[in-house]
A and B are shown apart, each in its own frame.
Chain A
Amino acid sequence: MEQNRQPSELTNRPQLPPFLSAPLQLVPDLIHTQLLVRVLNHLFKQPLQEGELDFLESRTAVIRLLDGGVEFRFTKGRKKLVAHSGSSSVDLAISGNLYDFIQLSLGKEDPDTLFFQRRIRLEGDVELGLEIKNLLYGLELDSLTMPTPLRKLVRGAVDHYQNRITTP
């Protein structure tokens, strides 16, 4: 049996052009996080009410946008997700580039695929990571209350960007 006994090499990791991700660095992390948390609370209204995010209680997750140079720390408070300001240790860190997070959040890419390709990295409590991953993908995007114009805009931007990187 002829088989390649070395791991396959990875090439072509798309990134957003720096002029798109760079401005994020100008705003302090906590403000980003409060914004993100507000969006998440809006999106996850029902799962929050049904207690499906309780597993995050008293645990801190951090999302790191490597090319944006920012990170979002959050946890679950009594009723909803809250920004976590302290520098205490985190239970789970998910890091990757902005482009890949956009692909993930639109359901265009599979998290394990990005993980195999080393584009998304997971550190810390893996069980917590699986829980978050499966929660996100168990939600039905279309029934989420993201305003349609906003969703169209984001989708359009990603399609546009994808075309630019696949047709050199």
Chain B
Amino acid sequence: MMELVCPAGNLPSLKAAVDQGADAVYIGFKDETNARNFAGLNFNSRNIERGIEYAHQRGTRVFAAINTFPQPNGWHRWTDAVDLAAESGIDAVILADLGLLEYAAQRWPEMNLHLSVQGSATNYESIDFLHRTFGISRAVIPRVLSAAQVRHLAEHSPIPLELFGFGSLCVMVEGRCLLSSYATGRSPNTYGACSPGSHVEWIERPDGGTETRLGGILVDRFEANEAAGYPTICKGRFEVEGKEGYAIEEPTSLNTLELLPEMMSMGIGAVKIEGRQRSPAYVAQVTQVWREAIDRCQRDPEGFQVEPRWNAALSKVAEGAQTTLGAYQRTWQ
């Protein structure tokens, strides 16, 4: 069975995901121990227990993402997060740092460990190593591999793989990127955000356009009728060799609905939806579409066709109001 794993930045989103039929929900804590560290978002010790209780009563599992990389002066914040998750009765923790994997494996030998996408395992030797060394039972695969590469990985991996199905993208092998450090002095894999709110400026222009700056650097200028994206450097428009355009990546969301039969034939264990920073409305809309699609595909993989209304619903909530198959569609390696 292929599991549907949905994001929740707060209690109402968790409930929305559970109610719409997610098999598992993943959450983070209110600090830099996770990769969606935004003001007012995420769980604390009070509401994590309520969230887990709500989910468990309805047969949904809850995972905690503790997937940034601890710095020498903050090690205990990351181990505290692992302890809090374990003590609250979490079903799995999603980790990236080797030291933290070692800590969790020693301190909580019964706990399920998943390798985070930030851990960036792109070959089965590394998955096998992490499985043998720390006992990881699942690996989330970076959004930089082609479908053929994923198939190869799935054939040889000793544990089930989790693939991203929908949501905003990171093109730099998942946070291994200096763009935001350059602009803001903070790195996505240690601070937990590549566009910290304190460094973002939106400037409205009299003609209805909008200017975005990150750490003072002009990232983009949107005309009044152009769709916008998140204020990250990688999605900005720059002048390169006299031409203006998206130099690295454009504001767009991954959408792999049409690959579902192929993913099932590879034996992929779970599909992950991005977006812990989004609202309960987004979580409900996206979970509903994917639940229906996965159920349909499981019943009849050969006859599976993507409903236009599914794609319409997903494009509507997509970053930049458009979607892409991302690296999966690449034929070159």
Task: List the interface of chain A (C-beta within 8 A of B).
Answer: 1, 3-5, 7-10, 55, 107-113, 115-118, 121-124, 126-135, 137-141
Residue B320 at the A interface, CB < 8 A? yes
Q: Give chain B residues whose Cβ lies under 8 Å from the Cβ of A5.
A: 245-246, 250
Select A7's contact among B196, B226, B280, beta carbons within 8 Å.
B226
Within 8 A of A (CB), among B299-333: 316-322, 324, 329-330
On chain A, the residues within 8 Å of B251 by CB distance are 7, 116
A101 to chain B, nearest CB (A): 14
A29 CA to B229 CA, complexed, in Å: 32
Could you tell me if B203 and A123 are in contact, using CB atoms closer than 8 angstroms? yes
4 more A-B residue pairs beyond the given contacts A121-B204, A122-B202, A138-B11, with a C-beta to C-beta distance below 8 A:
A8-B227, A109-B281, A116-B319, A131-B39
Q: Does B285 contact A (CB under 8 A)?
A: yes
**Is B201 in contact with chain A by the CB < 8 A criterion?**
yes
Question: Which residues does chain B contribute within 8 Å of A3, judged by CB atoms?
Answer: 250, 324
Within 8 A of A (CB), among B24-79: 38-41
| Residues of chain B within 8 A of A130, CB atoms compared | 38-41, 197
Taken together as a complex, chains A and B put the C-alpha atoms of A111 and B227 apart, in Å, by 14
Contacts of B225 on A, CB cut-off 8 Å? Answer: 9-10, 118
Q: Which residue of B196, B227, B279, B319 contacts A137 across the interface (Cβ within 8 Å)?
A: B279
Tell me how far the C-beta of B69 lies from the nearest C-beta in chain A, rounded to whole angstroms.
23
* Chain B proximity of A4: nearest CB distance (Å): 7
Chain B residues positioned under 8 Å from A55 (CB to CB): 39-40
Pick the residue among B197, B278, B321 that contacts A126 (CB under 8 A): B197
For B9, the chain A residues whose CB sits under 8 A away are 134, 137-138
> How distant is B214 from chain A, measured CB to nearest CB, in Å?
10
Counting chain B CB atoms within 10 Å of each CB, the highest count among A117, A118, A131, A139 belongs to A118
In the complex, the answer to whether B227 meets A7 with C-beta atoms within 8 Å is: yes
Tell me the total A-B contact number using a CB cutoff of 8 A: 125
B224 at the interface (CB under 8 A from A): yes
Which residues of chain B have C-beta atoms less than 8 A from A118's C-beta? 210, 222, 224-228
Q: Which one of B246, B279, B330 has the greatest number of beta carbons of chain A within 10 Å?
A: B279
Query: How far does the alpha carbon of A118 sit from the alpha carbon of B201 in the complex, in Å?
Result: 15
Q: Which 5 A-B pairs have the closest CB atoms?
A: A134-B40, A127-B197, A110-B282, A138-B10, A126-B200
Known A3-B250, A5-B250: A134·B38 in contact at CB below 8 Å = yes
Residue of A nearest to B16 (CB): A107
Task: List 15 A-B residue pairs with CB atoms under 8 Å apart, sorted by A's residue number.
Answer: A4-B322, A5-B246, A7-B320, A10-B227, A110-B279, A116-B318, A116-B319, A118-B222, A118-B226, A123-B202, A123-B204, A130-B39, A131-B39, A140-B15, A141-B12
The chain A residue sitting closest to B208, CB to CB, is A118
Contact B227 A126 (CB under 8 A): no
Question: Which of A109, A111, A135, A140 makes the CB contact (< 8 A) with B11?
Answer: A140
Rounded to whole angstroms, the CA-CA distance of A84 and B225 in the bound complex is: 32
User: B256 within 8 Å of A by Cβ?
Assistant: no
- Shortest CB distance B225–A (Å): 5
Q: Tell me which residues across on chain B come within 8 A of A134, comparing CB atoms.
A: 9-10, 38-41
Are the C-beta atoms of A112 and B210 separated by less than 8 Å?
no
- Are B280 and A107 closer than 8 Å at their CB atoms? yes
Tell me if B112 counts as interface (CB < 8 A to partner A): no
Contact A108 B198 (CB under 8 A): no
Q: Is B149 an interface residue (CB 8 A)?
A: no
Whether A138 lies near B330 (C-beta < 8 A) is: no
Chain B residue contacts of A116, Cβ below 8 A: 227-229, 251, 318-321
Contact call B10/A137, Cβ cutoff below 8 A: yes
Say yes or no for B189: interface residue by CB 8 A criterion.
no
Q: A113 CA to B203 CA in the complex, in Å?
A: 19
Q: Which residues of B contact A115 (CB under 8 A)?
A: 228
- Tell me whether B116 is interfacial, beta carbon within 8 Å: no
By a CB distance below 8 angstroms, the chain A residues around B316 are 113
Contact A7–B285 (Cβ < 8 Å): no
If A7-B226, A118-B226, A138-B11 touch, whether A107 touches B40 (CB-CB below 8 Å) is no
- Chain B positions within 8 Å of A122 at CB level: 202
Contact call B197/A117, Cβ cutoff below 8 A: no
